[in-house]
Amino acid sequence: MKMTRRHYENTALIPASAEELFAYIDDHTRFSSHMSKSSWMMGGGRMDVSVDEGRGQRVGSHIGLGGTAFGVQLYLDEVVTRHEPPRLKEWETAGDLKLLVVGHYRMGIEITPRGPGSLMRVYIDYDLPTTNAWLGRLFGGMYAAWCVGQMIKGAGGQFKEKSVAGRQVETG
């Protein structure tokens, strides 16, 4: 069966310079803090975020996440694939992973100066999970929107965001 890569993105106008905003998002333990908190989207579970000596702030640096969702043990390894301060950062899953509603993915942030602030675009391109793909078809889009939205919300809360708009596109 051919897997269909799916896409979700969201943008926000953040009242911060590109340099200030990039410095915030480049601290992956802070930027991914939504995964470290118990939430309904994680079925009451949470994930611990760990980084290597590169701290997720250079190409090739690793970011690990492990924990539970809905009582199921989850884990993944992400690798930074693009790091171009203060405008672009991308990372993707590598190796074996265990997730429930998405499979391998690539995420990224693009920052474009806009007047006194910055337009921040957060996106995810993801595959359905290889086991129980039906869960991905049912809940993958909802999870992608939540995860991207939490990253936008975190940056927005840090700098008092002004506006948000999102869209989901399936490609394959």
Q: What architecture does CATH give domain 6-40+81-93+101-167?
A: 2-Layer Sandwich (3.30)
CA-only gyration radius of the chain, Å: 15
Mean pLDDT calculated for residue range 152-166? 71
pLDDT at 1: 42
- Tell me what pLDDT residue 36 has: 58
- The per-residue pLDDT for 104 is 96
* pTM given for the model: 0.84
How do residues 50-101 score in pLDDT, each as one tens digit? 899 999 999 999 999 888 888 888 899 999 999 999 999 999 999 999 998 9
φ/ψ bin of 116: left (φ > 0), alpha (ψ from -120 to 50), beta (otherwise): alpha
> Contact 107/122 with Cβ under 8 angstroms?
yes
In this predicted model, what pLDDT tens digit does every residue of 115-157 receive, in sequence order?
989 999 999 999 999 988 999 999 999 999 998 998 998 888 8
Q: List pLDDT tens digits, range 14-62.
A: 999 999 999 999 987 776 655 555 565 666 677 888 899 999 999 999 9
Average pLDDT on 8-12 reads: 95
Nearest to 78 by CA among 60, 93, 57, 98: 93
Annotated domain spans of the chain: 6-40+81-93+101-167
Answer for the pair 128, 5: CB distance below 8 angstroms, yes or no.
Answer: no
Angle between helices 18-25 and 133-159 (to 10 degrees): 130
In Å, how far are 45, 82, 131, 170 from 88, measured between CA atoms?
A: 30, 7, 32, 23
